Amino acid sequence: MIHAIILVLIILCIFIIYEEIRKWFISKKLRNFKSPKQAPILGAAIRFIGKTNDELIETFLNIFDEVESTPLQMWLGPMLTIGISQPEDIETVLKSEDCLNKPYLYELLKCKTSILATDKEIWKPHRRALNSAFNVKMLQNYVPIINDLSRQMVKKMEPFLGERGDLYRTIFIAQTELVGRTLFGSKLQITSERLSSLFNSLKLVMNNVQYRILRFWLRWDFVFNLTKVGREEQIPLRKLIETIDQIYEHKVKELDTLKSQGIDHLTKVAEQNATNFLERCLILEQDGIISHENVHDQMRVMIVAGIDTSSTTVYATLLLLAINQKHQDLVVKELRSIFDTADCDVTQDHLGSMQYLDRVIKEALRLIPPIPFIARKTSADIQLAKGIIPQDSMVFIHIMKLHRNPTIWGKNALEFDPDRFLPENVAKRPPFSYIPFSGGARNCIGMKYGMISAKIVLANILRRYKFTTDLKFEDIRARVHIVLELTNENPLRIDKRNF
């Protein structure tokens, strides 16, 4: 027994020495990259041990502030992690063919085989095939549905008139229905209890992803599922999967019914280049290009990547407009010049006319980017101005830091000023200084959809209601579980507007 223990200890020592030498050689190449204080073996990971979810992310972001400039280098156990926040470095990484892969942490989002998480060999053909669900024609088709659901959202806010209600939850639930009706073309009536439980499930799953990211020993499902957190996730996760199954089955049944009436709906919409996301997936499944499991993962990613981000965009814009009344008045002035009534639909033409609202949303996405940082994995060495990022490193791009950098945005970087997005001002900034939807080939597939949907939703809400708050910008509190969530409790007061 003693011999066995000694042998294990010797092997462990050899492994640790080997690891430390390996790290030393790699770090030598990164001499110009700043480094926070690190411990042997665990590196910077030691700073995350025992932290709560909220503290984890704060610690991570603090490291960027601590080293003052980027690129920064740190070890999370055996994993070399590089942090960048300068536009030139970000441009190099996001445009590189060798930075198209994602690190393992994206697999934790429960959609391992979706376009969000897969490596470039699989991602490229899948992304190309799925892009058409967001083409101009489809975006136009989604406009009346978004209007319809925006009006329902306005109605659901009515009980909060004159007080502070949970508007974020209301917006989130409406966005869930929105994704269902537009991207999946679902006519399935999901009960409000189910929608509410979907909200809780999604929040829990996202929260747990963050919990696992910096506890790298939980990256394997079989280990995670043994923990209390992992076990407690099972029921809400099953509910989420069940809802997606129901939508899928409902759609397949609908198509079968049409087929029995002699209508081949999928062929018809494919010929018209007018397939929504689910129809596109079903065609790819029929053609044997993607598997049945893959369709489910692709549907799941639309929910995971589309709902939280869109809800935060709308909610953060309302909050910033409540803090900056002058800009709320200017948006409403623009809306009055375009619309005769508070209830009429926002059309494709109106979308082009709402220039000020467009700039307001962009400015909200700058100050409060729903995804404050993203990550990539390098498949080759990447040359930056200050040195080389080695192959197989994890690269974190700190979008929030980029968006608030005073050297790019001026001394008043934290002030809300939509005119930063006037074309003449955009032209003065370096490319890749504004990337709320990421950039390069692997940017957000829902970028145009997200902007259109935010504009329609906000144009409907702001014609009906006026928003005020006691908060100042510096009072805004946020939690990040991949997507940023504003945590001040019900800060928005909502009143009727005479339009």
Question: Footprint of ligand HEM on this chain (CB under 6 A)?
Answer: 115-116, 127, 179, 183, 301-302, 305-306, 309-310, 313, 365, 370-371, 374, 436-438, 442, 444-446, 449-450
Contact 403, 367 (CB under 8 A): yes
Q: How far is the CB of 248 from ligand HEM (least distance, A)?
A: 16
Degrees, nearest 5: CA angle 94-99-103: 115
Quote the least distance from Cβ 11 to ligand HEM, whole Å: 37
- Residue 6, classed as helix, strand or coil, is helix
Angle between helices 325-338 and 355-367 (to 10 degrees): 150
Q: Which residue, 90 or 342, is less far from ligand HEM as judged by CB?
A: 90
Residue 442 or 463: which CB sits closer to ligand HEM? 442
Q: How far is CA 443 from CA 282, 358, 364, 439, 440, in A?
A: 24, 20, 19, 5, 6
Distance in Å, CB of 86 to ligand HEM, minimum: 17
- Burial of residue 277 (CB within 10 Å: 0-12, 13-18, 19+) is buried
Contact predicate 278/300, CB 8 Å: no
Q: Is 495 helix (H, G, I), strand (E, B) or coil?
A: strand
Residue nearest ligand HEM, Cβ-based? 446
Complex with ligand HEM: residue 390 or 450, whichever CB lies closer: 450
Q: Which secondary-structure segment (H or E) carries 184?
A: none
**Shortest approach of ligand HEM to residue 280 CB, angstroms?**
13
Residue 444 beta carbon to ligand HEM: minimum distance, rounded to whole angstroms? 3
Q: Which is nearer to ligand HEM, 281 or 301 (CB)?
A: 301
Instruction: Give the nearer residue to ligand HEM in terms of CB position, either 342 or 484.
Output: 484
- C-alpha to C-alpha distance for 399 and 414, rounded to whole angstroms: 14
Q: How far apart are CA 282 and CA 270, in angstroms?
A: 11
**Min CB(82)–ligand HEM separation in Å:** 15
CB of 386 to ligand HEM, least distance (A): 23
- CA dihedral sign of residues 455, 459, 460, 462: positive
Positive or negative CA dihedral for 364, 367, 372, 375?
positive
Determine which helix (DSSP H) or strand (DSSP E) holds 138, and give its type and residue range: helix 136-157
Residues facing residue 377 across a β-bridge: 101, 394
Q: Which helix (H) or strand (E) holds 380?
A: none
Q: How far is CA 168 from CA 219, 230, 314, 462, in A?
A: 30, 27, 9, 15
CB-wise, 165 or 370, nearer to ligand HEM? 370
With beta carbons less than 8 A apart as the criterion, state whether 378 and 390 touch: yes
- Report, in Å, the least distance between residue 276 CB and ligand HEM: 11
Spatial distance between the Cα atoms of 322 and 370, rounded to a whole number of angstroms: 18
272: part of which helix (H) or strand (E)?
none
CB closer to ligand HEM out of 27 and 279:
279
Nearer to ligand HEM, 29 or 127 (CB): 127
Return the number of other C-beta atoms located less than 10 Å from residue 58's C-beta: 14
User: Which residue, 120 or 156, is less far from ligand HEM as judged by CB?
Assistant: 120
Choice between 125 and 159, CB closer to ligand HEM: 125
Per-residue CA distances from 478 to 52, 117, 363, 402, 417 (Å): 14, 25, 17, 17, 21
Name the minimum Å distance from CB 305 to ligand HEM. 4
- Give the shortest CB-106-to-ligand HEM separation in angstroms: 7
Nearer CB in complex with ligand HEM: 70/310: 310
Nearest distance from C-beta of residue 21 to ligand HEM, angstroms? 33
Question: 């003052």: which residue's tokens?
Answer: 68
DSSP 430: P
| C-beta closer to ligand HEM: residue 230 or 436 | 436
Taking the complex as a whole, the smallest distance from the CB of residue 254 to ligand HEM amounts, in Å, to 21
**Cis before 71? omega within 30:** yes
Closest to 116 (Cα-Cα) out of 443, 492, 404:
443
